[in-house]
């Protein structure tokens, strides 16, 4: 996928060294754009493997507003294992704290909770919210069906009063949906972009959300656009990304969602990838 490879090349060629929260070290650029037309195929990287199962199960986790990482672990998805709410364990790098963070299931009011309960009072992953929140995802679905020309179909995960309670403040913090010529387009905003590990998942996740919203509203799939802020490569990811640049991309796959009723009833196992040809996996260490 050329748009992704161009971002890698841009950061490697022009990135400025910058310290970061994890202590790993990065090179970074200040802003770029990812753009893809869904008619060209589903944007799952082919220069390495990206498991749709992990992308899709995390998206279902968000859509359902779940904040207990055991839900993911039970589905053999471990991408949130290392984090927990700082109210439970204060963030630090030492081995003892890292183990305590891994053992704690509470993630706090992260992405999906903000999508479904914005403005309500968060209690815990196993208790209902205090007060009435705003269901931003349902608002978008209703607008797509009843007023598709609306320019206010916006969803935000960035809720400043809740940031200190979240396992991680949202990296991809907002999205907008717009309908043009019977095609549903999705644009997302991201403050912090881990090019090697995070961005391929973000691209696939928002492409899958676009796909589901289009099915929900009976629309064709249009453009996926990412407005990317602090776009960075960790120092220990450079060689793996250079390897990707040396690989010739394959044709993009397609996805198929079976027995679709509603985005709110969708399960990650309902969606399958078709014709996914990719180069071998590249191991990247996660920066915690």
Write the DSSP symbol of residue 56: H
Instruction: Give CA 71 to chain center in angstroms.
Output: 17
Kindly report each contact of residues 20-25 with a partner whose C-beta sits within 8 Å and lies 24 or more positions away, as own/partner: 20/232, 20/234, 20/287, 22/93, 22/234, 22/287, 22/288, 23/93, 24/234, 24/235, 24/236, 24/287, 25/234, 25/235
Cβ atoms of 154 and 174 within 8 Å: the answer is yes
Compute the half-sphere exposure of residue 146: CA atoms within 13 Å on the CB side of its CA. 7
Q: How many separate helices (H) and strands (E) can be counted in the chain?
A: 8, 8
Assign 3-class secondary structure to 88-136. Answer: CCCCCCCHHHHHHHHHCCECCCCHHHHHHHECCECCECCECCECCCECH
CA gap 278, 44 in Å, rounded: 9
Does the annotation count 171 as an active-site position?
Answer: yes
Here the tokens at position 190 are: 């991201």
Query: Which residue in the list 171, 197, 282, 286 is annotated as catalytic?
Result: 171
> Given CA atoms 165, 171, 176, 177 in this order, what sign does their dihedral have?
negative
Burial (0-12, 13-18, 19+ Cβ within 10 Å), 25: middle
Distances (CA, A) of 207 to 39, 231, 288: 12, 19, 26
Catalytic residue annotation: 171
């Amino acid at each position: 996928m050329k748009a992704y490879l161009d971002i890698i090349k841009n950061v490697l060629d022009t990135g400025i060294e910058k310290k970061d929260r994890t202590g790993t070290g990065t090179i970074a650029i200040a802003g770029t754009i990812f753009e893809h037309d869904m008619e060209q195929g589903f944007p799952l990287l082919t220069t390495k493997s990206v498991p749709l199962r992990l992308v899709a199960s995390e998206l279902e986790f968000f859509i359902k507003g779940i904040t207990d990482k055991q839900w993911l672990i039970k589905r053999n998805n471990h991408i949130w294992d290392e984090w927990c709410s700082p109210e439970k364990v204060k963030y630090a790098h030492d081995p003892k704290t890292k183990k305590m963070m891994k053992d704690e299931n509470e993630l706090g009011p992260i992405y999906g909770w903000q999508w479904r309960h914005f403005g309500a009072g968060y209690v815990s992953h196993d208790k209902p919210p205090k007060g009435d929140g705003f269901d931003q995802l349902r608002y978008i679905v209703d607008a797509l069906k009843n007023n598709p020309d609306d320019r206010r179909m916006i969803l935000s995960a960035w809720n400043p009063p809740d940031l200190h309670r979240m396992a991680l403040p949202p990296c991809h913090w907002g999205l907008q949906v717009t309908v043009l010529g019977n095609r549903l387009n999705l644009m997302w905003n991201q403050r912090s972009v881990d090019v090697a590990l995070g961005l391929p998942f973000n691209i696939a996740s928002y492409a899958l959300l676009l796909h589901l919203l289009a099915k929900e509203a009976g629309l064709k799939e249009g453009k996926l656009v990412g407005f990317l802020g602090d776009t960075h490569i960790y120092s220990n990811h450079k060689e793996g990304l250079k390897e990707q640049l040396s690989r010739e991309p394959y044709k993009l796959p397609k996805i198929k969602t079976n027995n679709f009723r509603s985005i709110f009833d969708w399960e990650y196992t309902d969606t399958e990838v078709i014709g996914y040809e990719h180069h071998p996996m590249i191991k990247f260490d996660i920066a915690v």
